[in-house]
Amino acid sequence: MNSIAILDFGSQYAQIIARRPREAQVYCELFPWDAPRENILSIRPKGFILSGGPKSVYETNAPFIQPFILDTGLPILGICYGMQALAHALGGQVDASAQREYGPAEIQPLMPGTMLDAISKVWMSHGDRITRLPEGFTALARSGNSPCAAMGDMKRKYFGVQFHPEVHHTPNGSLLLRHFVIDICGAKADWTPASIIDDAVARIRNQVGDQRVLAAVSGGVDSSVAAALVHKAVGDQLVCMFVDTGLLRANEAEQVASAFRRGLGMELIAVQAGGEFFSALKGVTEPEQKRRIVGEKFIHIFEAQAKQLGRPKFLVQGTIYPDVVESSAPERDKTEKIKTHHNVGGLPQDMPFELVEPLRYLFKDEVRLVGEALGLSEELVWRQPFPGPGLTVRCLGEVTRERVERLRAADKILLEELSGAGYLGKGAQTSQAFMVLLPVRSVGVMGDQRTYQEAAAIRAVTTEDFMTADWARLPHDLLARVSNRIVNEVNGINRVVYDLTSKPPGTIEWE
């Protein structure tokens, strides 16, 4: 294999580091710093990148470089804490500096002719610094606060940088990482959507043999691409199931059915279950209770269908790499559970299926590239994230068929206007946009008539990772068009407001 192992010392940027070799078409995997030797070496790495981390190398229980890493004789690049851990392991000296260096800084190369020539502005985030280099190392750059902002041992191909080349605030930082991976480690750039597909197809065939496979598709990118990959591998051994909960956006159910049946020629069982969901939600207004009800109903329907199909042995899941990494990452600040998100609309862990997870090692945008290479429609591949509990969490107050239809009609207008103006879809700035129906009535006037109807909010955000988000600065004219059309065309809504809350302190969804 042609890969790079990234050891995570507790960095908030670990996943961003993992993006960079992959952008250079070199496969890499993240491992906790203390992962077992056989796991790390199983990918047969050509080199190691050590991430940053919150600790100090002299602290008790500070993460360290496991000796077998050095024994491999492979190139190493340490970033921030990773550099300090490397210096510490090889006999250098690391000390707390009087001043923390945080944020933008400038470095000056000390040895011409290295990759650092391309870098001057960098992003720093450290308290400790290296005060004596280990034997064999030369200082390659310095900054105002670090006499040794970069170091290298050309013979052993060991390098360290005090700054963060992985973040966008370090212009050309990704070139440095690419140089390390391709030129120093000698990894080949052969990890492309086509090679990912070939590899996944071979693995799936190997795993499932001639057995039947079931996939629950939601219309979301991950479950669609996972199902399409499995279909490519085992064709008609795959059965796809789609539960129409009655809680989807306008036209979504039809689009999914047509994308799978017509677009990909796959078998798709569509279960119409709207009635069941609306009965179960009757009278319920509390957000967590809504989520629970939708989650339980979904599992119930899924199980009944699986039984009817004679319980295939295998089940496809669209688990993607960030989910895998998050569950095995070293101790970070545990974020409190704010919403019961990711177990809603999904299936429980303990179902009697063997899982097929072809996207387990892919980031979201890699999933999209694979989806495009498999011939999935742009509409499906670039669809916005949609919560498992569907429109229930965007229909504040009681979820009735009538109110969901009202919300859906308003939402359709918003999407039409934003897509038409280029504010949504592939490459657009707005990452997610939707309408929220409020359980609040206000007075209005239409023609000569007094109205007393519900209000609806436009929610549109820009975000990289959906962990933090800002409200989208949409043009006023566009907002005016959306508002006018909704009030004129949708029965039951006479007022539209725009949500100006970032995340935090808000969340993207309203419930």
Stretch that binds ligand XMP, among 177-185, 304-312, 442-450, 500-508 (CB under 6 A): 500-508
Stretch that binds ligand XMP, among 33-41, 341-349, 366-374, 395-403 (CB under 6 A): 341-349
* Coil, strand or helix at 127: strand
Q: Which tokens in the block code for residue 431? A: 């990452």
**So which residues are the catalytic ones?**
80, 164, 166
Q: In the set 19, 156, 261, 339, which binds ligand XMP (CB under 6 A)?
A: 339
* Nearest alpha carbon to residue 130 among 171, 163, 164, 167: 163
Stretch that binds ligand XMP, among 14-22, 96-104, 190-198, 336-344 (CB under 6 A): 336-344
Stretch that binds ligand XMP, among 3-11, 97-105, 190-198, 338-346 (CB under 6 A): 338-346
Q: Which is nearer to ligand XMP, 109 or 388 (CB)?
A: 388
Q: Residue 508, interface with ligand XMP (CB under 6 A)?
A: yes
Q: Is the peptide bond before 330 cis (omega within 30 degrees of 0)?
A: no
Neighbours of 103 (CB within 10 A): 9
Least distance from ligand XMP to the Cβ atom of residue 97, Å: 37
The torsion angle over the Cα atoms of residues 189, 192, 196 and 199, rounded to 10 degrees, is: -50
Task: Name the residue with tokens 């190997």.
Answer: 206
Q: Which is nearer to ligand XMP, 47 or 219 (CB)?
A: 219
Interacting residues with ligand XMP between 405 and 434 (CB under 6 A): 432
Q: In the set 344, 391, 407, 435, which binds ligand XMP (CB under 6 A)?
A: 344
Sorted by sequence, the CB contacts under 8 Å of residue 125 that are 6+ apart come out as: 52, 80, 101, 102, 103, 164
How does DSSP assign 363-401, residue by residue?
-HHHHHHHHHHTT--HHHHTPPP--TTGGGGGB-S---H
Q: Which tokens in the block code for residue 12? A: 């908030």
The number of angstroms, rounded, from the C-alpha of 45 to the middle of its chain's C-alpha atoms is 24
Q: Residue 492, interface with ligand XMP (CB under 6 A)?
A: no
Least distance from ligand XMP to the Cβ atom of residue 495, Å: 23
Q: Residue 388, interface with ligand XMP (CB under 6 A)?
A: yes
Q: Is the peptide bond before 504 cis (omega within 30 degrees of 0)?
A: yes
Task: Name the residue with tokens 């939601």.
Answer: 218
* Rounded-to-integer distance, Cα 359 and Cα 363, Å: 8
Least distance from ligand XMP to the Cβ atom of residue 352, Å: 23
Residue window 465-484: x/- pattern of binding to ligand XMP, with contact defined by CB under 6 A: -x------------------
Q: Residue 507, interface with ligand XMP (CB under 6 A)?
A: yes
Please give the C-alpha separations between residue 478 and each of 406, 422, 484, in angstroms, as whole numbers.
21, 11, 10
Size of the site for ligand XMP (CB under 6 A): 15
* Nearest alpha carbon to residue 265 among 374, 139, 409: 374
Least distance from ligand XMP to the Cβ atom of residue 220, Å: 8
Stretch that binds ligand XMP, among 184-192, 274-282, 446-454, 501-509 (CB under 6 A): 501-509
Q: Residue 387, interface with ligand XMP (CB under 6 A)?
A: yes
Least distance from ligand XMP to the Cβ atom of residue 390, Å: 9
Q: Residue 322, interface with ligand XMP (CB under 6 A)?
A: no
* Rounded-to-integer distance, Cα 17 and Cα 193, Å: 20
Q: In the set 151, 161, 389, 438, which binds ligand XMP (CB under 6 A)?
A: 389
Q: Which is nearer to ligand XMP, 385 or 492 (CB)?
A: 385
* Rounded-to-integer distance, Cα 59 and Cα 326, Å: 24
Q: Which is nearer to ligand XMP, 244 or 509 (CB)?
A: 509
Q: In the set 52, 345, 358, 371, which binds ligand XMP (CB under 6 A)?
A: 345
Q: Which is nearer to ligand XMP, 232 or 291 (CB)?
A: 291
Task: Name the residue with tokens 């006479």.
Answer: 494
**318, 225 contact by CB (below 8 A):** yes
Q: Which is nearer to ligand XMP, 66 or 384 (CB)?
A: 384
Q: Residue 382, interface with ligand XMP (CB under 6 A)?
A: no
Stretch that binds ligand XMP, among 86-94, 191-199, 266-274, 380-388 (CB under 6 A): 380-388
Q: In the set 136, 147, 385, 444, which binds ligand XMP (CB under 6 A)?
A: 385
Handedness of CA 421, 427, 430, 436 (dihedral sign): positive
Q: Which tokens in the block code for residue 349? A: 């862990």
Least distance from ligand XMP to the Cβ atom of residue 508, Å: 3
Please give the C-alpha separations between residue 487 and each of 5, 248, 249, 400, 474, in angstroms, as whole numbers.
55, 22, 19, 20, 19
Least distance from ligand XMP to the Cβ atom of residue 284, Å: 16
Q: Which residues of the chain form contacts with ligand XMP (CB under 6 A)?
A: 339, 341-342, 344-345, 385, 387-389, 432, 466, 503, 507-509
